[in-house]
Amino acid sequence: MAVSTISPRVEEPAKRPPVNSRRQAMAAGCKVAILGFGTVGKAVAQVLCNAPIPGIRLAFVFNRNFERKRVSWVPEDVEWTDDLRQVLASDADVVVELAGGIEPAKEWVEQALLAGKSVVTANKHLMAVHGLELLQLARHTGQRILYGASVAGGVPVLNALEQGLAGDRLVKFAGVLNGTCNYILSNMESHGTPFAAALAKVQKLGFAEADPSDDVNGVDASCKLAILARVGLQADIQPESVYRQSIRGIDPIDFEYAHQLGCTIRQVSMAEIKGKTLRAAVQPMLVPFSSALSRTKDNQNALIVTGEHGGETVFSGRGAGGGPTAVAVVSDLLALAQNSQLTPARPLHSYRVSGNFSLRYLVRVRLRNQSDSISTIKQELSRNGVEIGSVLRKPKRSKGNSDVAVLTKACRPADMVTAIRDMRQLPGVRQAPVYLPILPN
């Protein structure tokens, strides 16, 4: 498929607000309206209210039923409202959208831009799916939309891609981009916490999405990967085209097998340009201890960016939660207030998107009883074109159960998925086998 340049949709110019006078007003003090007073909205308000930030002032908090949200530490001159029209008609300069999800957030962002306000958002879902059209609308209305908080929370990776690394030709990302999955997996590893208990805890901490399946099934990370691909690889992809595999089904015992191979387990997001194809996947993987991704704990994120000229650059820090995300939001507000210019956007290209990374896998199968043999598993794998490299030692803790684990040679994910599906049908197999590819060094 040909690599084509996406040409922006050109529309009749809307009535442009007086940009220069607005910028002058912003320089005098940027008035901020927060839409959504949840974990992140509250944290942004705390940063803005605790110690005044020169040039930025919280002016509005918009939330449905705001009376139940009202807090005493927000100064009295801040207006609370559940009427968006009041915010749009006001002299607020910037709308900070922190409601999340596609609708009504998309409509709010559009209305804010059309009302002559710039927008700061942490909404990865919105920016992954509708980012191009919203950026175009922002240009059209003479406003800006900044979304540094949408990927990796407090770690300024989007800024780095747009500025510090803009001089390179980036070709690959490998990252831990979801704090919830990282919390679950690193707690499983350090404390043997079962999946359900770790998930309940991370929900209480406020890191998880409203529907935590979006975290564990890779939807959240695929949105972040799509944004990274657009900003860093100039690749126009939609999150649903990214190959995804859930972390559900991973058991603390899998870490013991992983350790035998000098690895831990993390949810890894990968994107790589190979000719006219963009390979993209979000899945739990065995991560060698030598990789920076293996050192992420709790809600941390990490990203390894590979460029043709500069080689590998690593970013890491807190990727989820009110505080870190608020830092990214307020940094974007400061960038708007200072009117700092970003590097001009490069043209985007379309690629065929594929999850076809040829990788080695750890496969763990729970058999009905110890007498069931490993040979049927070998047969099932090889019938689907997957060859076994070695059989792993049974960890001490698992002496009582009837698990067997093998390391395969490199194979295609489609072959592995078919082999696993077939294996699940075998009478001797007790539950869906776990299969984890190894992140190449």
Which residues have a catalytic role annotated?
224
Cα-based distances in Å from 245 to 179, 412, 428: 16, 14, 25
Choices 7-15, 20-28, 60-68, 172-180 (CB under 6 A): range interacting with ligand HSE: 172-180
Q: Which is nearer to ligand HSE, 162 or 220 (CB)?
A: 220
Q: Which is nearer to ligand HSE, 189 or 215 (CB)?
A: 215
Helix (H) or strand (E) holding 16: none
CB 48 within 8 A of CB 32: yes
Q: Which amino acid is at 98?
A: L
For ligand HSE, the nearest residue by Cβ is 180
Q: Which is nearer to ligand HSE, 155 or 386 (CB)?
A: 155
Site pattern 122..161 for ligand HSE (x: CB under 6 A): -------------------------------x--------
Which residue stretches of 320-427 are H helix?
A: 322-337, 375-383, 413-424
Cα-based distances in Å from 158 to 147, 230, 315, 335, 345: 8, 10, 11, 13, 13
Please report how close the Cβ of residue 225 comes to ligand HSE at its closest, in angstroms: 12
Q: Which is nearer to ligand HSE, 178 or 408 (CB)?
A: 178
Site pattern 201..220 for ligand HSE (x: CB under 6 A): ------xxx-----x----x
DSSP assignment of 140-190? HHT--EE-GGGSSTTS-HHHIIIIITTTS-EEEEEEE--HHHHHHHHHHHH
Q: Which of residues 241-270 bind ligand HSE (CB under 6 A)?
A: none
Q: Which is nearer to ligand HSE, 281 or 337 (CB)?
A: 281
Q: With CA atoms as reference, report the closest residue to 280 among 376, 369, 355, 184.
A: 355
Cβ contacts of 422 within 8 Å, gap of 6 or more: 380, 383, 384
Q: Which of residues 65-94 bind ligand HSE (CB under 6 A)?
A: none
Please report how close the Cβ of residue 171 comes to ligand HSE at its closest, in angstroms: 25
Tokens of 265: 């387990």
Token match 């992983």: residue?
Answer: 258
Please report how close the Cβ of residue 161 comes to ligand HSE at its closest, in angstroms: 17
Q: Which is nearer to ligand HSE, 55 or 206 (CB)?
A: 206
Among 113, 120, 129, 320, binds ligand HSE (CB under 6 A): 320
What strand order describes the sheet that includes 118-121? 79-81, 56-62, 30-35, 94-97, 118-121, 145-146
Please report how close the Cβ of residue 209 comes to ligand HSE at its closest, in angstroms: 5
Choices 140-148, 176-184, 228-236, 290-298 (CB under 6 A): range interacting with ligand HSE: 176-184
CB 382 within 8 A of CB 416: no
The residues that touch ligand HSE, with contacts defined as CB under 6 A, are 153, 178-180, 207-209, 215, 220, 319-320
